[in-house]
Amino acid sequence: MTAPTDDRGGTETAPESGAPTPRTAPLAWGGRLLARTGVAVRGAVGRRDGRATLVVVAALYLLTYLWALRDLTASGPGGVDVFVVAEPVSTALTPLSPFLFEAVARVEAGPIVYLFRPVNVALGIGLGLLVGVTLAVSVVSWRGPEACRIGAGAGATAGVPGLLSGFACCGPQLLVVIGLQASAGLVAAMQWMVPLAVASLLLTLLWVGSRVRIPE
């Protein structure tokens, strides 16, 4: 039996007889949704174009994130110098503002100056991987929908939150970079940008998972 197609040429997931629903069996439904999401992600990273998208997007996102934090700049006087604080562990966990932690090392190499904040590097890598996976699923679903077992339309839609969430994560730091004066209300709202961006990416991946067709 051929599954119906939507207006964009993508294949829609047909309702399955006897399948669990959030109301009748929430745990079974959640487990099935996670399994479907895993199928989409594995299908994306299992292809060369998906892996390339993941690596390139994650790397570019991390570099952009570090630049937005002003941890990576080209303001050095030249030469090579490395400075490490006396107590790196306790210093690394010292918050300066929401989602911004203290640096434990300063590295200068020619014009490049890098402030190493372990917690923020971990956050940048995690966010970059989330954005990369979301866009990898989008790219692979557009180029080869059968790899992720979803329609091309669903994959293209998945790329939008990935891009928007990526910009949202750097919003507070970008205000500092461009020199805008933020009101107290705007600062308070921006404190929620990172968790909301993460939630948006995760919900997008789960939505993609809901479109996956798993043969019985």
Structure confidence by residue, pLDDT tens digits, 113-127:
999 999 989 988 988
- Which CA distances in Å does 24 have to 18, 80, 199, 212? 10, 64, 25, 21
DSSP letter, residue 2: P
**Tokens 């968790």 sit on residue:** 195
Q: Which helix (H) or strand (E) holds 194?
A: helix 193-210
CB 209 within 8 A of CB 36: yes
pLDDT at 150 over 70: no
User: For all residues of the chain together, what is the average pLDDT?
Assistant: 74
Query: In angstroms, what is the C-alpha Rg of the chain?
Result: 21
Structure tokens at 134: 């979301």
Task: Write down the pLDDT at residue 113.
Answer: 93
Mean pLDDT, rounded, for 154-159: 51
Q: Identify the band that residue 190 occupies on the pLDDT scale cut at 50, 70 and 90.
A: low
Token pair listed for 208 = 């993609």
Strands 112-116 and 72-73: antiparallel
pLDDT tens digits, residue range 8-21? 444 444 445 556 77
Between 73 and 189, whose confidence is greater?
73
Closest Cα partner for 212 from 137, 117, 105? 137
The pLDDT, as a whole number, for residue 54 is: 92
Which pTM value belongs to this model? 0.71
